[in-house]
């Protein structure tokens, strides 16, 4: 990964350990099964590299020097894949949850590994979001306002599918509203937070949700939660459709990533792809070691690791094939032309 020459300047300016981050990667990724049966969602190949490679490269470029991974599901795989972080120009530490702790509990648990003081900013990232927003600007806004927490907010065309986050004229968050058919704003929580360290220490140990408990509690006590609006590229990759979309956008250059293992363009083919002649693959995800026979059509399908799809099959409309399953020639069709 390319080095980020300003990281040392950031650390020196802070006079301490530099800017630290907690990366939440403990989820089981059930919506992406069967791909996540053997691999945690944040480590799935995305545009040719583990998903987290894109997040870590962005973090380093934004001045973050140290990342703590809050792990649970298949926790050992993160260190095996990412190591000490030196490949990304970062230091990475790992803190494993014994039981799932939800967002707030995971942040509180991982905070035991932080080195900064009570007044230092701590970035919290979610391991299933691709974002092009200006993270350094979010940190600057947080420190300038003296906020307890600063949230990245994005504007979406259909906020009814999300909880929405209204703010006042000064950017202060006034509420966290659950999904509603009549949202009061088109701004939603984008899943990137900047906490002042002592606020994390106030989260009680155990299973806690920042969205349903911590943030509403801070608002009710009159603490400043700041909304930082940035309408750059943003995508939650939690579904197969969104996961494919994110990979495509990275390859096409809709979202720039220094972790992309090749030039941006209409396609990216890496060594190890096993796709037969005449096969057509659209909006689909193919797991590691899977083989796609000649003439096969995949359209909106998810193929697990090691699966074998023989020639003449047509898999579409969200169909999912579990790892190591073999489908014989011309066994499944969605259209009548045989």
The residues assigned a catalytic role are 179
Residues near 258 by Cβ (< 8 Å), separated by ≥ 6? 1, 2, 57, 58, 61
Cis omega (within 30 of 0) for bond into 34: yes
CA distances from 244 to 241, 258, 281, 286 (A): 5, 19, 11, 10
* List of E strands, 32-87: 45-46, 49-50, 64-71
Nearest to 287 by CA among 301, 304, 263, 262: 304
Query: CA 24 to CA 165: how far, in whole Å?
Result: 21
Query: CA 129 to CA 92: how far, in whole Å?
Result: 19
The secondary structure of 26-46 as a DSSP string is ----GGGTTTTTTS-GGGSEE
Query: CA 36 to CA 41: how far, in whole Å?
Result: 6
Residues near 27 by Cβ (< 8 Å), separated by ≥ 6? 40, 41, 72, 73, 127, 128
Query: CA 317 to CA 216: how far, in whole Å?
Result: 39
Residues near 240 by Cβ (< 8 Å), separated by ≥ 6? 31, 32, 35, 285, 300, 302, 318, 320
The rounded radius of gyration (Å) of the Cα atoms in the chain is: 21
Q: Are 112 and 205 in contact (CB under 8 A)?
A: no
């Amino acid at each position: 990964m390319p080095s980020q020459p300003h990281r040392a300047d950031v650390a020196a300016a802070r006079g301490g350990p530099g800017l630290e981050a907690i990366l939440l990667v403990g989820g089981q990724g059930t919506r992406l099964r069967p791909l996540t049966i053997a691999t945690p969602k944040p480590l799935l190949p995305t545009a040719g590299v583990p998903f987290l490679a894109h997040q870590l490269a962005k973090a380093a470029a934004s001045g973050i020097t140290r990342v703590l991974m809050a792990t649970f599901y298949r926790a050992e795989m993160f260190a095996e894949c990412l190591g000490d972080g030196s490949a990304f120009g970062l230091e990475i530490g790992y803190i494993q949850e014994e039981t799932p702790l939800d967002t707030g509990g995971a942040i509180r648990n991982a905070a035991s590994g932080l080195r900064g003081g009570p007044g230092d900013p701590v970035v919290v990232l979610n391991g299933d979001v691709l974002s092009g927003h200006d993270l350094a600007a979010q940190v600057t806004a947080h420190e300038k306002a003296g906020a307890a927490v600063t949230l990245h907010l994005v504007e979406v065309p259909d906020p009814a599918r999300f909880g929405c986050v209204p703010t006042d004229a000064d950017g202060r968050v006034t509420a966290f509203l659950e999904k509603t058919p009549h949202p009061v704003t088109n701004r939603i929580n984008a899943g990137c937070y900047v906490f002042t360290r002592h606020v994390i220490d106030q989260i009680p140990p155990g299973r806690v949700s920042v969205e349903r408990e911590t943030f509403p509690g801070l608002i009710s006590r009159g603490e400043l939660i700041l909304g930082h609006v940035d309408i750059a590229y943003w995508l939650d990759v939690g579904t197969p459709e969104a996961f494919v979309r994110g990979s495509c956008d990275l390859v096409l250059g809709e979202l720039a990533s220094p972790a992309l293992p090749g030039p941006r363009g209409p396609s990216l083919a890496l060594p190890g792809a096993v796709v037969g002649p005449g096969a057509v693959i659209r909006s689909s995800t193919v797991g590691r070691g899977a083989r796609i026979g000649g003439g096969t059509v995949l359209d909106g399908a998810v193929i697990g690791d090691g699966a074998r799809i023989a020639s003449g099959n047509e898999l579409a409309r969200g169909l999912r094939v579990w790892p190591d399953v073999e489908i014989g020639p011309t066994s499944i069709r969605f259209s009548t032309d045989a």
